[in-house]
Amino acid sequence: MSTSVNPPAADSAATVVAHVRTLINRGTLGPGARLPAERQLAQQVGVSRPTVRAGLRTLAALGVVRSRRGSGTYIPDGPPTLGVEALTFVAALHNFSGDDFYEARRILEVAAAGLAAERATPEQLATLADEVAGLFASMTERQVFLVHDISFHRSIAAASGNPIIASLVEMVSALYYDRRRATAERAVDRDLHAAADAHRRIYQAVRARDPERARQLMNDHLVEARAYQLREDAKPAARPRGRRGLPR
């Protein structure tokens, strides 16, 4: 007896994508769930295993699935994200500027901070506290500091309680990571301490359940972060060599 969700169709990756989407819509697959093995998917959809692999690659680029070596393919447990490669491609086509990305980030993260102050769970507050402690503990390890910085912002977005905001912040954060990694090594201790202290104040406002103050502090922090990035970009050694205007 056939177990396919849809009748056999053309041997294409799009058929596999449609099949997985049907499983998600039906509730058969959810966050953290493991997809059927390639052979089983091929039988269900009525396509070849190479086609299944092509479909899974498409889903991975969209952020819908993630492969674990030796374990299988899973629906991510955290907030879903559009693949960064896809957004970067669209940005190049339409000439999105660094200012465009910054404005989007500011709109999203300021709102997320206010919602986090209203909705953060005790576990999420503990995660934020850990990231702040990590910032102060990694002053001499610039790249580790950057990871804690980005993780803090992702954690604020998750604490907003809105999965769409969390997904969008996750996506935009990934776009900024490479660019910020290039300037992280040049940061002086004074700049790092100021950044860590800004994150601590945001956390304290969220913990105090003060949405207005959390939004204001996040806005102030992002304005200063943008000013710092522009100063770094103005230095000859820091000028990006990629497509003009796009974050790297």
Comparing 74 with 212, the larger pLDDT belongs to 212
pLDDT in tens, 99-112: 888 898 999 999 99
Average pLDDT score over residue span 118-143: 94
In this prediction, residue 63 carries a pLDDT of: 67
CATH number of the domain that residue 128 is part of: 1.20.120.530
Q: Which of 55, 74, 93 is the last residue of a domain?
A: 74
Identify whether residues 88 and 59 lie together within a single domain: no
* Residue 53, domain extent: 13-74
Over 70: is that where the pLDDT of 181 sits?
no
Residues whose CB is less than 8 angstroms from the CB of residue 165 and which lie 6 or more positions away in sequence, other chains included: 108, 111, 112, 115, 157
What is the number of domains present in the chain? 2
> Residue 5 falls within a domain, yes or no?
no
Identify whether residues 34 and 152 lie together within a single domain: no
> Residue 173 falls within a domain, yes or no?
yes
Identify whether residues 118 and 226 lie together within a single domain: yes
Q: What is the amino acid identity at position 1? A: M
Average pLDDT score over residue span 61-67: 75
Q: Give the integer Cα–Cα distance in Å for 29 and 21.
A: 9
Comparing 238 with 57, the larger pLDDT belongs to 57
Q: Are 165 and 108 in contact (CB under 8 A)?
A: yes
Comparing 213 with 241, the larger pLDDT belongs to 213
Identify whether residues 102 and 158 lie together within a single domain: yes
> Residue 143 falls within a domain, yes or no?
yes
> Residue 231 falls within a domain, yes or no?
yes
> Residue 32 falls within a domain, yes or no?
yes
Identify whether residues 94 and 49 lie together within a single domain: no
Over 60: is that where the pLDDT of 243 sits?
no
Identify whether residues 228 and 144 lie together within a single domain: yes
- Assign 85 a pLDDT band (cuts: 50, 70, 90): low
Is this prediction's pTM over 0.85? no
Identify whether residues 46 and 99 lie together within a single domain: no
> Residue 7 falls within a domain, yes or no?
no
Average pLDDT score over residue span 158-166: 93
pLDDT in tens, 140-152: 888 888 888 988 9
